[in-house]
């Protein structure tokens, strides 16, 4: 081929003159590239911690996290404890929190419960925080979005974040209700992109709530897969297999060090309270040996609160009931053996058909 036969006009086409609009668009794109470019000489500050569990970081500014669990596992109670820690500055369950300066408001969004149930959740949070429940609190906004469509809910969240720059933490209790099809890859990617956009644009942290499948321990639908892939932390809330009145909080996915499992139950006031040392794992279960002497004393004080107990079976039943509140839940045989041990130490003494408690003998129990 001769050089004059090479179609240079096609290989190196002449540069056409750009229109003013095209030049403006190109300049905008150059600025955008500067915004997204990461340089070796850049200096970054680690995002501020917002939430910790026993001094282990689980939530930072500019990220999102999740509480997941099967229906009735008490996920909302766990989230209530998180919000109570945020607005009170106190430790609640095992959560400690500190919102950034100027971003001291929590936005709580419920997508599935009725107005009455949302009202109960709001009052629970305030009671756990030690704040009055009969007046408005400037550090917490609670929105009930049950009656809206998924797209309307997303628009409302977007607008709420845009108009209030004091918001530093957002709870979305029911992220599934922000999309139409939980198994749609396209919708799932879109809502996760919204979470990433909101957290970055408004310099906040978002905590979401999602169900686990009833048949297994996987998060529901394609949105669950996307959530697992992108979330900073995913906590799993499960009902204890050895005591259904107890819920456990476990790290499912973390970017940093995992926090230790902890457990809570709902007390007589309808509030979650911590159960130290409780675990459903066989190797981690509470044993008589790792219950402290002071805990034994507290339990036995309750068993004998009304004086001597009449009847052997009644005593065994009371022991089982009171020790279960500490996390030690076993069959009758275990408590028959424990009662025998307490009697051998003189801590419980049989007198005719009654059993009395010798508190001064508790020193015989050494841990």
Q: How many structural domains compose the chain?
A: 3
- The reply to whether 341 falls in a domain is yes
Report if residue 306 sits inside a domain.
yes
Spatial contact of 78 and 33, defined as CB atoms under 8 Å apart: no
Q: Which domain holds residue 21?
A: 3-36
Q: Looking at the domain assignment, is residue 171 inside a domain?
A: yes
* pLDDT per residue as tens digits for the range 328-367: 777 677 788 888 888 888 899 998 889 999 988 887 665 4
Parallel, antiparallel, or unpaired: how do β-strands 105-110 and 95-97 relate?
Answer: unpaired
272 plus 305 within the same structural domain: no
The single residue listed with the structure tokens 């400690």 is 96
Residues 231 and 327 in one domain: no
Each residue's pLDDT tens digit, 40-56: 887 777 788 999 998 88
Residue 68 lies in a domain: yes
99 CB-near residues (< 8 Å, 6+ apart): 50, 86, 105, 106, 168, 169
Co-location of 226 and 173 in the same domain: yes
Residues 270 and 200 in one domain: yes
* 58/48 Cα distance (integer angstroms): 11
**92 and 205 part of one domain:** yes
Residues 197 and 230 in one domain: yes
Q: 10: burial class by Cβ within 10 Å (0-12, 13-18, 19+)? A: exposed
Residue ending a domain, among 248, 280, 312, is 280
Residue 273, token pair as written in the block: 């309270």
Q: What does the alpha-carbon distance between residue 153 and residue 146 come to, in Å, rounded to a whole number? A: 9
What pTM, to 2 d.p., does this model score? 0.69
Residue 238 lies in a domain: yes
In tens, the pLDDT along 308-318 reads: 999 998 998 89
Residues 211 and 358 in one domain: no
Give pLDDT, residue 283.
40
Query: Does any domain span residue 44?
Result: no
Q: For 263-302, what is each residue's pLDDT tens digit? A: 999 998 999 998 877 766 544 455 565 677 888 888 999 9
pLDDT > 70 in the chain, percent: 89
Residues 91 and 172 in one domain: yes
> Do 171 and 28 belong to one domain?
no
Same-domain pairing of 245 and 159: yes
Residues 358 and 237 placed together within one structural domain of the fold:
no
Is 287 a member of any domain? no
Contacts of 243 (CB under 8 A, 6+ apart): 324, 327, 329
Residue 285 lies in a domain: no
- The DSSP code sequence of 269-282 is TS-EEE-TT--SSG
Cα–Cα nearest to 232, from 54, 60, 18: 60
For the stretch 86-123, pLDDT in tens is: 999 999 999 999 999 999 999 999 999 999 999 999 99
Distance CA 130, CA 90 (A): 9
């Amino acid at each position: 081929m001769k050089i004059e036969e090479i179609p240079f006009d096609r290989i190196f086409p002449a540069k056409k003159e750009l229109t003013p609009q095209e030049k403006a668009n190109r300049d905008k794109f150059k600025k955008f590239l500067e915004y997204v470019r990461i340089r070796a000489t850049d200096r970054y500050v680690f995002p501020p911690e917002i939430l910790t569990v026993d001094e282990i970081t689980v939530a930072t500014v500019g990220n999102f996290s999740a509480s997941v669990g099967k229906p009735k596992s008490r996920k909302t109670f766990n989230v209530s404890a998180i919000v109570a820690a945020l607005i009170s500055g106190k430790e609640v369950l095992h959560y400690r929190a500190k919102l950034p300066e100027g971003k001291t408001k929590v936005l709580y969004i419920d997508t599935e419960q009725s107005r009455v149930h949302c009202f109960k959740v709001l009052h629970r949070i305030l009671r756990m925080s030690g704040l009055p429940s009969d007046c408005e609190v400037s550090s917490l906004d609670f929105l009930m979005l049950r009656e809206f469509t998924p797209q309307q809910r997303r628009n409302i969240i977007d607008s709420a974040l845009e108009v209030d720059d004091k918001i530093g933490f957002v709870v979305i209790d029911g992220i599934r209700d922000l999309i139409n099809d939980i198994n749609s890859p396209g919708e799932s990617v879109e809502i996760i992109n919204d979470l990433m956009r909101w957290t970055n644009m408004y310099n906040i942290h978002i905590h979401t709530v999602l169900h686990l499948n009833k048949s297994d321990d996987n998060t529901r639908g394609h949105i669950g897969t996307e959530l697992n892939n992108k979330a900073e932390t995913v906590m799993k809330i499960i009902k204890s297999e050895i005591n259904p009145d107890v819920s456990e909080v476990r790290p499912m996915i973390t970017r940093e060090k995992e926090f230790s499992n902890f457990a809570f139950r709902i007390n007589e006031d309808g509030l979650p309270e911590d159960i130290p040392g409780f675990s459903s794992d066989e190797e981690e279960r509470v044993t008589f040996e790792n219950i402290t002497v002071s805990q034994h004393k507290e339990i036995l004080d309750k068993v004998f609160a009304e004086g001597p107990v009449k009847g052997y079976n009644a005593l065994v039943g009371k022991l089982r009931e009171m020790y279960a509140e500490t996390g030690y839940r076993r069959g009758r045989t275990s408590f028959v053996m424990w009662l025998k041990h307490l009697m051998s130490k003189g801590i419980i003494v049989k007198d005719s058909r009654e059993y009395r408690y010798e508190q001064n003998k508790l020193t015989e129990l050494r841990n």
